[in-house]
Structure 1
Amino acid sequence: MTHPLLRIEDLRVEIAGRDRTVHALDGVSLDLAPGDSLGIVGESGCGKTMTALSVLRLLPPGGRITGGRILFDGTDLAAAPEPVLRGIRGNTLGMVFQDPLTCLNPTLTIGAQVAEPLLLHGSLSKAEARSRAEEMLRLVGLPRPAERMAHYPHQLSGGMRQRVAIAMALICEPRLLIADEPTTALDASTRHQILELIDDLRERLGMALILVTHDLGVIARRVDRVAVMYGGRIAERAPVRRLFTTPRHRYTQALLAALPERATAGRPPAGIPGLPPSLLTRPTGCRFAPRCGFAGDRCRTTEPDLAGGEHSFACFHPVDPAVTRTDPAAAATDPAAGLRAPAAPPERSDEPLLRLSGVAKTYPLRAGPFARRRSGEGRAGEISAVAGISLTVRRGETFGIVGESGSGKSTLGRLIVGLEAPTEGTIRFAGRDISTLTRRELRAHRRNVQLMFQDSYAAMDPRMRVGAVLREPLVIQGIGNKAEQRRRIAELLDDVGLPRGAVDRYPHEFSGGQRQRLGLARALALAPALVVADEPLSALDVSVQAQILRLMRELQREKGIGYLFISHDLAVVRHLADTVGVMYLGKLVETGPARSVLTRPLHPYTQGLLATVSPPDPDAAAPGTPLSGEAPSAAAPPSGCRFRTRCPHAVALCADSEPPVAEPFVAGHRVACHLV
């Protein structure tokens, strides 16, 4: 048997707060052999990230290891002094953090940050370290690495920053790489490229990998073994194929049933009832028992042990091994799935709620950051963020917008809400051109059209408690007295699956997924007619996704809310959207009914985008030829078809003229491509 590179034995971690202590990890045990790969999955707050941070002893303030050992290549990291840890971190043990922007120093250039580990742990000169850093940036696929060496983090896109973070983690060729949600909030093509990069580098360097993620599709095709965590403990541990085909723990079964890919027509994904344990106290019995329809008296009084060898699970009422795959139809009658009767489909009106006609938005490029805004002075070109968009959203309809980062999706959302004015074209909401609204009318417009921001943390004042954050829009719009506002806040927290006691906490005290739920609650506070949802589910695990999707559907059915749903997750868009628009470099290249666009795509860009999706099935066939290369700059878009520089089928005509919009096969399914 291969000697373990990493062995975690009965690890226990506590985090002391102002007036409470969280038992974050309670007896976690894991093994990882050299060159092996392990995926850690589970809901937000289950202990995935805390396990990863514990290995490097990078616990949050108040955190401490209270028991157990972390043996890395024979060294107990749990008891090692700080000088020993400094010699291991970034050297033989690398980590890619969830948010690359916050882990990069905004005051240092990319070259200096990537070279820093070599200067700390090696004997290279500055020139040699910079040369090696440029080579590593080229290895991770960063475009024009020599040029990027002099750039700062804010000058790079999210995918580029993630590549820089990976380069920093790998520059010293570690024996173990820990990747904590390395693809969260990245678009499908960038996510595919990052995961392919990690796989390739792992094979080249022969390193072991721990991949922490809530994306079961990523886990299905990227790791050898999986550990499912719940309530600070390991609930199930198995080889990846066995976990997906024959899950034994009821929690694992419920997670798989919550996948949007396993939902059926007219039925949302199966949510898991209730909330994960708070971990302020050690629960008695099985930690999943309060949410499990199969729990008995023994489950509530006795904690099950993790047993079973290669496929081990801690459950007194495991799934019958004869069930070879969690089936959505079966999940509907499974008490563990927590499904109610399916909601009736929302009623939709033919009346347009929102209509965009030829909407364009350009931003001027200036010669320098301090150039004056006089007519033409300092102007160095312009960025074409949105270019001639026309679309209609009807009452009760969900219009999904998909595309890579930088395609103009978020800019389009800000234009609709009225945070920015279009350069060309008109935006009509309920028949009114919003560019003609007075200040008072614009305030009413923003009450009826709410924006869910992509970065929910940045959208909340860190000095305000959650109760004040949710109450603020009610106060601004003069809705209700204090008692009525408190009741409304309690209803919102119930709707998005957060405890009512959350009103007394600050945004930083919540996980990324919980903050996304707060963002949804804030958007719904004013009961708007249209919600522009900009990546509302990007940081949520599948069970919470299922709850939010069900909530959005129910609100749409009850109140006729329209959604402009911007997302990188094509599986969620396929389930939620009635109509889909595919954006590339500011243009809609394909629109139509969701079922038609996402199952029979006509544009080569849409086909490549769908080929980057990782299905939650280890045995799934390759979905096609994924997108490759980087999108051109919006400051200098290609002539003719903007996708032609990456299109495998491009011909001379594609460069000469912009393709017209056609409707060749299915009514309402439009595509802008010369070759269709």
Structure 2
Amino acid sequence: MTDSLLRTDPRLPTDSLLRIDDLHVEIPARDGDRRRTVHALDGVSLDLAPGEALGIVGESGCGKTMTALSVLGLLPGGARITGGSVAFAGTDLASAPEPVLRGVRGNTIGMVFQDPLTSLNPTMTIGAQVAEPLLLHKGVGKAEAWRRTEEMLRLVGLPKPGERLRTYPHQLSGGMRQRVAIAMALICEPALLIADEPTTALDVTTQAQILELIDELRTRLGMALILVTHDLGVIARRVDRVAVMYAGRTVERAGVRALFAAPRHRYTQALFAALPERAADASQPLATIPGLPPSPADRTRGCRFAPRCEFASERCETEEPPLSTDEGASRDAHAFACFHPVPPDADPVAQLVPAVPAPVPVPADDVLLRVTGLTKDYPLRGGPFALRRGAAVSAVAGVSLSVRRGETFGIVGESGCGKSTLGRLVVGMEPPTAGSIRFGERDPAALDRRARKAHRREVQLMFQDSYASMDPRMRVAAILREPLVIQGIGDRAGQDARIARLLDDVGLPRGAVDRYPHEFSGGQRQRLGLARALALSPSLVVADEPVSALDVSVQAQILNLMRELQREKGVAYLFISHDLAVVRYLADRVGVMYLGKLVETGPAATVFASPLHPYTRGLLDTADHADPGDGAGVRPSAAPLGGETPSAADPPSGCRFRTRCPYARDICAREEPMPAEPGAPGHAVACHFPLAPAAR
């Protein structure tokens, strides 16, 4: 199917590349014997100029992805467009027949889906999948399609593109699969690229590489971009204009600088206030949005944000505010749908952040966990390195750290640096190859079976994917009761009382005991995961990426809850994350890991303000911040932290970071740097050439 199928409708505007006008999408559903209608989109209006980048933000369930899918006619089964138009280059795709949509998909409009592993065909090679749009839309021969595919894979930065043509998706890392998905979306050089959460759960450097790749290709090909994400830091530096969605509607539209400088809708204000980097200081809780978004099956009168808005009036409950502006009807005007907007000159965050008691100081000598020289190697039994005798993956290589009672120790680093492996070693899920772990005065490895069972009460794990960590066939009561039964704690009545207290602690209704995990939202399931980790009253909780895939509002709720429980119960956290803003806010001390090594440790405020290791400095420079500043709309040419991470099966000699370090010298290849404290006491770095303490 070719571009000739597109017929311009003279009734539609042509001054925009894409214009969505009052779009409505409905999905039929059943509630027992009763039929109901889910209003997934209820009046969305957006427009996009050629070459422009538009960001769409909002909480999960607000309609971001549904809007993107509506453009290409990829709605879920049963869903249908019941009103409005989707004008692309003057053609209404909302009413276009399927042959026209097939001619558009992957040809003039490309799409990068959120999860590249599920969007790529596991039975087809990478080369065949990327070449397929060329064969379908451009009519080129197989040899030419193969040549262009290799060129595109090289363009998106895939190492050894000629070899990757014959590999399968499962043989690539997450970042590489995302590059393949981008190559497939761009192979036909579309006029518009839709990227739906392209960097969710990726570490800071991989995220920067993917986003800068999209920026570079967009500039080179002259494409327009729709970037769907809940990450406001990504939006701040990567788009020209922003649309904020809530409950299936567009509630605010503006240029990126105008929106971040002075949000007008109370919902946008609340999202900004929930950002960890917007907190006044680490002793203050994050502002949260009370309640939950309305169900798309319930059409309420008035403003849909009114039940969660502290500024709502009686008018908000009876009238729906229109999308209007104080600046006239121009396309670039700042539009918002709110009867009580934030004043243009007001501080949008300060008035929403409540005060709480100061945190209880942690005694410096009250060490709960002490890890010394911890090492974990995984023997290789296949692949090219397995030919070497004793070949192994060096996941954790001589890590030493301590965690005090009642404190939060943050672990940051890129994917594959050994953070999660370290967490599993600490909780005893895997035995170390070498080194020791002492919990208080005890060595868990030296305990007998009975004592080890009792020790397991003291250390619990909070998983990244709370849904996958729970048995979907068990109700909440059984999930929370299980550890109590295993440890022989209390009778049935005592266990019921303890479960009720746990639900109270994590802010869930006691009636939740009769529900299954799939009946909860993502934030509620993460609360259940925290309740499960606290069931045995542990002294230490290892939290492995507990908020990485959550909306900013839900993330704020979970972080506040963790701090509140820490203050009340004295629990310590080993908090593992790739989100630097979250770790900076939550952690008392922080450790930076690279390729199995701990390269820098110290007080979180000191490490983030004055890093000593070039790797830490690179992580901070690479991260996107929720502040467009003077760089809004200006794409950097390269990530501050570039290069490929070496394989843990064959790490570099000496300093493992030397192959990516701009300061590396001969000594870095010969000798491994030992931790030292060249700056403030307690701030240690393993580097032959540490940065000056005040370096920026």
Using the size of structure 1 for normalisation, the TM-score is 0.91
1:4 pairs with 2:25: no
- Residue 573 of structure 2: aligned partner: 563
Aligned length: 662
Alignment match of 2:196 (pick from 158, 180, 188): 180
Pick one of 669, 672, 677 that aligns with 1:658: 672
Q: What displacement does 1:449 show?
A: 1.9
Q: 243-252 or 620-629: which moved more?
A: 620-629
AA partner of residue 24 (structure 1): A
2:645 maps to which residue? 631
Question: How far 1:490 sits from its partner (Å)?
Answer: 6.5
Give runs of aligned pairs for residues 501-540 of structure 1, distance below 5 A. Answer: 515-540=525-550
Structure 1 residues 610 and 99, CA, compared in 2 at 3 Å: closer, same or farther?
same
Note closer, same or farther for the CA distance 1:506–1:12 as it changes in structure 2 (3 Å cut). Answer: farther
Distance 1:139 1:84, change over 3 A: same
Comparing 489-498 and 93-102, the one that deviates more: 489-498
Q: 2:554 aligns with which of 520, 544, 547?
A: 544
C-alpha spacing 1:645/1:277, structure 2 compared with 1 (3 Å):
same
Question: 1:92 Cα deviation (Å)?
Answer: 1.5
How much does 1:550 deviate? 0.8
Shift of 1:54: 2.1
Give the letter for the 1:301 counterpart. T
What's the secondary structure of 1:447's corresponding residue?
coil
What pairs up with 1:321-470 in 2 under 5 angstroms? Answer: 321-323=344-346, 325-328=347-350, 330-332=351-353, 339=354, 341-349=355-363, 350-367=365-382, 381-464=391-474, 469=479
Give me the CA root mean square deviation: 2.7
Note if contact 2:208-2:639 (Cα within 8 Å) is conserved in structure 1: no
* Match in the other structure for 2:293: 276
SS in 2 for 1:661: coil
- 1:115 has 2:131 as partner: yes
Checking the alignment, whether the CA contact within 8 Å between 1:417 and 1:450 is kept in structure 2 is yes
CA contact (8 A) 2:195 2:228 kept: yes
- Structure 1 CA distance for aligned equivalents of residues 98 and 507 of structure 2: 40
Q: Separation in 1 of the partners of 2:473 and 2:105?
A: 33
Query: Retained in 2: the 8 A contact 1:516–1:540?
Result: no
Q: Deviations over 1:158-195 (max 9, x none)?
A: 21221111112111211111111111111111111111
Structure 2 counterpart of 1:15, from 27, 35, 57: 27
Go from structure 1 to structure 2 and tell me whether the alpha carbon gap of 1:668 and 1:421 turns closer, same or farther (over 3 Å shift): same
* Alpha-carbon displacement from aligned partner over 1:246-289 (angstroms, at most 9, x marks no partner): 11111111111111111122102211222222222112211111
- Equivalent residues in 2 for 1:16-95 (5 A)? 16-19=28-31, 21-95=37-111
Q: Distance in 2 between matches of 1:592 and 1:217?
A: 25
Is the aligned partner of 1:315 residue 2:311?
no
Contact 1:2/1:33 (8 A) holds in 2 = no
Aligned counterparts, 1:202-213, within 5 A: 202-213=218-229
**Would the alpha carbon gap of residues 506 and 281 (structure 1) be closer, same or farther in structure 2, given more than 3 Å must change?**
same
Per the TM alignment, residue 10 of structure 1 is displaced from its structure 2 partner at its CA by 1.6
Structure 1 CA distance for aligned equivalents of residues 389 and 654 of structure 2? 25
Residue range with higher mean Cα deviation, 164-173 or 497-506: 497-506
CA contact (8 A) 1:44 1:511 kept: no
Tell me by how many angstroms 1:101 deviates.
1.8
**Please, which moves more after superposition, 53-62 or 507-516?**
507-516
CA distance in 1, matches of 2:473, 2:521: 17
Residues 14 and 90, structure 2, Cα contact 8 Å, conserved in 1: no
Distance 1:203 1:347 in 2: 51
Q: CA deviation at 1:87?
A: 2.2
Deviations 1:325-348 (A, max 9, x none): 5243x333xxxxxx3x31330442
Q: Give a deviation string over 1:463-506, Cα, whole Å, max 9, x none.
A: 55666555544554455667776776676666656677776766
Paired with 1:56 and 1:518, the residues of 2 have a C-alpha distance of 37
Instruction: Look up the match of 2:694.
Output: none
Q: 1:267 to 1:311 in 2, by over 3 A?
A: same
The residue aligned with 1:294 is 311
Q: How does 1:239-254 map to 2 (within 5 A)?
A: 239-254=255-270
With 56-65 and 223-232 compared, the bigger mean Cα shift is at 56-65
Could you say what secondary structure the match of 1:662 adopts? coil
CA, structure 1 residues 471+320, in 2 after alignment: closer, same or farther (shift >3 Å)?
A: same
Q: Work out whether 1:101 is the aligned partner of 2:117.
A: yes
Deviations 1:577-615 (A, max 9, x none): 011100000000100111111110011111111101112
Give ranges in structure 2 of 5+ residues lacking alignment: 1-12, 691-696
Listed as ranges, the matches of 1:213-252 within 5 Å are 213-252=229-268
Q: Determine the structure 2 residue equivalent to 1:166.
A: 182
Quick one: structure 1 residues 202 and 531, their matched pair in 2 at CA, closer, same or farther if it must change by over 3 Å?
same
Counterpart in the other structure of 1:336:
none
Are the counterparts in 1 of residues 269 and 349 from structure 2 also a CA contact under 8 Å? no
Displacement of 1:555: 0.5
Q: Is the CA contact 1:398–1:577 (under 8 Å) kept in the aligned structure 2?
A: yes
CA 1:498–1:57 in 2, change beyond 3 Å: closer, same or farther?
A: farther
Note closer, same or farther for the CA distance 1:552–1:168 as it changes in structure 2 (3 Å cut): same
Cα distance change, pair 446–637 in 1 and its aligned pair in 2 (3 A): same
2:693 maps to none
Matched AA of 2:264: R
How far did residue 417 of structure 1 move? 1.4
Residue type of the partner of 2:170? H
Relative to structure 1, is the Cα distance of residues 490 and 276 closer, same or farther in structure 2, using a 3 angstrom cutoff?
farther
Q: Deviations over 1:600-647 (max 9, x none)?
A: 001111111110111211115699971001110111100010000000
**Alignment partners' CA distance in 2, 1:538 and 1:347:** 28
CA distance in 2, matches of 1:88, 1:391: 55
Shift of 1:445: 3.7
1:574 counterpart residue number: 584
Task: Say if 1:365 and 1:379, in contact at 8 Å, map to a contact too.
Answer: no
Comparing 427-436 and 552-561, the one that deviates more: 427-436
Report the Cα offset of residue 299 of structure 1. Answer: 0.7
Q: Distance in 2 between matches of 1:102 and 1:394?
A: 41
In structure 1, what is the Cα distance between the partners aligned to 2:83 and 2:514? 31
Q: Is the 8 A contact 2:195 2:225 kept in 1?
A: yes
Residues 60 and 551 in structure 2, CA contact (< 8 A), matched pair in contact too: yes
Change (3 A) 1:559 1:378: same
Corresponding residue SS for 2:344: coil
Task: For 1:486-505, list aligned pairs within 5 A.
Answer: none
Partner residue of 2:6?
Answer: none
CA contact (8 A) 2:16 2:89 kept: yes
Unaligned runs of 5+ in 1: 333-338
The residue that corresponds to 1:643 in the other structure is 657
Superposed displacement of residue 377, structure 1: 9.4
Deviation (angstroms), 1:666: 0.6
Q: What does residue 3 of structure 2 align with?
A: none
